[in-house]
Amino acid sequence: MTVQLHAHARAFPIGGPIVEVHDISLNFGGVKALTKISFDVREHEVRAIIGPNGAGKSSMLNVINGVYRPQAGSIVLRGERLAAMTPRRAAHMGIARTFQNIALFKGMTVLDNIMAGSNLRMHANFLEVAFRLPRALREARECREAAEEIIEFLEIEHIRKTPVGRLPYGLQKRVELGRALAATPQVLLLDEPMAGMNIEEKQDMCRFILDVNDHYGTTVILIEHDMGVVMDISDRVVVLDYGKKIGDGTPEEVRSNQDVIDAYLGVAH
């Protein structure tokens, strides 16, 4: 795969830290999912979290997103220290995500699913919507416009009116990305966006992730299994193994890190 983007000047230059996690520890009973993890994510960068199965990658994402509450440590979002994040608060603060196993409304159309993603920006109350009062109509129109822009961006015009449940897996993943984008997030969390895809679908998805980052300046934090994909599209990579951070740096640095090589290839005992 040859995706050259960062060789060029970026429209949104990488800024200061937007998300910082400090000494996060998370236990499930006696199982230590995460142990004293610290790293930062800078504004407008593509940050990957990688690691073997069970390394704690999804747990890490769930902590950032407020689904899990860590026993120790804190999250700093745009300079603001938060002891505990909740999913709703995360959404309000501009964090959107996609899920490892697709979480869409299967019976609804692609368009409706994407429009559902901008739910937080709608302020009209039940009665305004029921009686089609001006604010409700205006919001509905803006919401549709935003959704159409995303549909065009992700090149899914042909399935606009198709119920999501009837779509193949690769397209459902793309719709899920669209739903997350509809929230106009500043930080986008992607949980294994390429899992289970064939090579062509992976290439498409890579392109879309880079385009989102490039076009909207969205900061992307992604979890990925496929090392090749990660190395091609991320600016910096965090490597987790058994809940501990074993590497952090640019793809080149990580690739030559002995601990990372050991974790992926195993060590002779």
Closest CB to other proteins among 135 and 215?
Answer: 215
Closest CB to other proteins among 85 and 111?
Answer: 111
Burial class (CB in 10 A: 0-12, 13-18, 19+), 5: middle
Measured in whole angstroms, how far is the alpha carbon of residue 143 from the centre of its chain? 21
Shortest approach of other proteins to residue 210 CB, angstroms? Answer: 9
Closest CB to other proteins among 37 and 150?
Answer: 150
Closest CB to other proteins among 77 and 159?
Answer: 159
Question: What phi and psi values does residue 55 have, to the nearest 5 degrees?
Answer: -75, -15
Shortest approach of other proteins to residue 11 CB, angstroms? Answer: 5
Closest CB to other proteins among 3 and 84?
Answer: 3
Name the residue among 187, 219, 237, 178 with its Cα closest to residue 85: 187
Sorted by sequence, the CB contacts under 8 Å of residue 186 that are 6+ apart come out as 18, 94, 95, 218, 219
Q: What is d(CA 20, CA 39) in angstroms, rounded to the nearest whole number?
A: 6
Name the residue among 258, 242, 244, 234 with its Cα closest to residue 48: 234
Closest CB to other proteins among 69 and 158?
Answer: 158
| Strand order, beta sheet including 31-42 | 31-42, 17-28, 72-77, 80-82
Q: What is d(CA 203, CA 232) in angstroms, rounded to the nearest whole number?
A: 11
Shortest approach of other proteins to residue 86 CB, angstroms? Answer: 35
Shortest approach of other proteins to residue 13 CB, angstroms? Answer: 13
**Are the C-beta atoms of residues 251 and 234 closer than 8 Å to each other?**
yes
Where along the sequence are the contacts to other proteins (CB under 8 A)?
A: 5, 8-9, 11, 144-145, 148-149, 151-153, 155, 157-158, 160-161, 211, 214-215
Closest CB to other proteins among 1 and 103?
Answer: 1
Shortest approach of other proteins to residue 8 CB, angstroms? Answer: 3
Tokens of 69: 């509450």
Per DSSP bridges, beta strands 187-191 and 219-223 are parallel
**Are the C-beta atoms of residues 108 and 116 closer than 8 Å to each other?**
yes
Shortest approach of other proteins to residue 109 CB, angstroms? Answer: 12
Tell me how long the chain is: 269
Shortest approach of other proteins to residue 198 CB, angstroms? Answer: 12
